[in-house]
Chains A and B, each alone.
Chain A
């Protein structure tokens, strides 16, 4: 019994070492003394009493431990912690960026190409006005990126990279969305393609960090090149397929080939982004990977959060008129919540990378 008692007291002594140093100096001895007296008396009563005392301590000490650490850590110190800063910056960039993207796009970019087809005008003429919204959203996204992550030595660099980084997925997906009609795809194909599109969007947002941190103009040019090439291909390939199909079968109904071609195109885009990430980082491009995998998952989770919010805020759920204020609010809230989720994930990866790089430097 004595051996067990000593072991229990020793373990308690080790637990006290988990508390802040000031606490250990001030009250560690006192607590250990009280605990020793308690277990000594419990041991005299029997094993059950001893177990009860130990269980009681196990139940209560985590709260005291957390409280003592929190109390000594002022809010100012919490906000100065590197991981907290990274997460807050990530949240700022993506919540503001995605909210603005949603709102601008909702108001400025809804210009279905079907009107162009009806009027016999070229498609692209109807696409250009819509790009205003995406460009504005990208500029706002770039400015927030500069404010949150930019450094004084290269003012404007993050704004430039951020603008291009936001514009690349927005322009590509916009072009792709309006380059063909959804009726050419069946339900499963539409869902599969939208997941691939989200993976592309997330990967591009991750790549934005890689390019910005590299500080090299070559990668900025690559980003600019992608902005010209991706939307051009997203515009021309489906159109080419559509015309070919109309020439051969005079039908626009869905076909597996059409989906395969468009899906492959998006997969190629994703592969290019990941390749660029590897080239820039010279290692595993974790932010690009996180963007590719995490963004789609978080966007799905966000749908549920938005549904929950709308259910509890009693806001109208089915408004698709882009000029209706309820629709704009909904798009804005969806952007903010997705931005918070994605920002936290990006912030944590940034903090982890920062910690690793510090360890390497040491």
Chain B
């Protein structure tokens, strides 16, 4: 995969970043993703079902995530729950975004050190 191709996806929105990050840890169903995003973002990103669905749909279309089947444990009403997992492309994009964010933080740190001096 060419790096220019990966760069075309960057920067990720905050919501997308947290969803991808959540799936990097393990495969999850929709509600677990929403809860995980809430926790990872320190409750700054609270997803409604509509926002979550729209984001998942776009990530599926772009090939960053894929459906990995159904959760063996159904929901409270007994409905089966579709699970999602990160693709290789998704992993690479997440890595690239993390590197980008790290460089931003580094730049900010250098700048603030310069100011303090």
**Cβ contacts B13-42/A at 8 Å (1 or 0 each):** 000000000000000001100100000000
Do residues B75 and A33 form an inter-chain contact, with CB atoms below 8 A?
Answer: yes
**Cβ contacts A56-93/B at 8 Å (1 or 0 each):** 11011101100100000000000000000000000000
Would A38 and B54 be within 8 Å (CB), given that A31-B49, A33-B77, A33-B79 are in contact? no
Do residues B51 and A60 form an inter-chain contact, with CB atoms below 8 A?
Answer: yes
Q: Please indicate which of the listed interface residues A30, A34, A53, A59 has the most CB atoms of chain B within 10 Å of its own CB.
A: A34
Would A56 and B76 be within 8 Å (CB), given that A31-B53, A34-B30 are in contact? no
Do residues B54 and A56 form an inter-chain contact, with CB atoms below 8 A?
Answer: no
Q: Which residue of B lies closest to A41 (CB)?
A: B35
**Cβ contacts A12-42/B at 8 Å (1 or 0 each):** 0000000000000001011111111110100
Q: Which residue of A lies closest to B81 (CB)?
A: A33
The A interface is mostly helix, strand or loop, or mixed, namely: helix
Do residues A37 and B54 form an inter-chain contact, with CB atoms below 8 A?
Answer: no
Q: Chain A residues near B75 (CB, 8 Å)?
A: 33, 36-37
Do residues A38 and B34 form an inter-chain contact, with CB atoms below 8 A?
Answer: yes
Do residues B30 and A64 form an inter-chain contact, with CB atoms below 8 A?
Answer: no
Do residues A63 and B50 form an inter-chain contact, with CB atoms below 8 A?
Answer: yes
Q: Chain A residues near B50 (CB, 8 Å)?
A: 57, 60-61, 63-64
Q: Chain B residues near A32 (CB, 8 Å)?
A: 79
Do residues A27 and B76 form an inter-chain contact, with CB atoms below 8 A?
Answer: no
Q: Chain B residues near A30 (CB, 8 Å)?
A: 30, 53, 81-82
Q: Which residue of A lies closest to B74 (CB)?
A: A33
Do residues A38 and B53 form an inter-chain contact, with CB atoms below 8 A?
Answer: no
Q: Chain A residues near B30 (CB, 8 Å)?
A: 30, 33-34
Beta-carbon contacts under 8 Å, B56-113 to A: 75-77, 79, 81-82
- Complex Cα distance, B81 from A33, in Å, reads 8
- Complex Cα distance, B16 from A72, in Å, reads 24
Do residues B31 and A33 form an inter-chain contact, with CB atoms below 8 A?
Answer: yes
Q: Chain A residues near B49 (CB, 8 Å)?
A: 31, 34-35, 38, 57, 60-61
Q: Which residue of B lies closest to A52 (CB)?
A: B46
- Complex Cα distance, B77 from A30, in Å, reads 12
- Complex Cα distance, B49 from A60, in Å, reads 8
- Complex Cα distance, B94 from A42, in Å, reads 31
Do residues A64 and B54 form an inter-chain contact, with CB atoms below 8 A?
Answer: yes
Q: Chain A residues near B46 (CB, 8 Å)?
A: 56
B52 at the interface (CB under 8 A from A): yes
Given contacts A30-B82, A38-B34, 12 further A-B contacts (CB under 8 A): A27-B53, A30-B30, A30-B81, A33-B81, A34-B34, A37-B31, A38-B49, A56-B48, A60-B48, A61-B49, A64-B50, A67-B54
Closest 5 pairs between A and B when the two form their complex, measured CB to CB: A60-B50, A64-B50, A37-B31, A60-B48, A56-B48
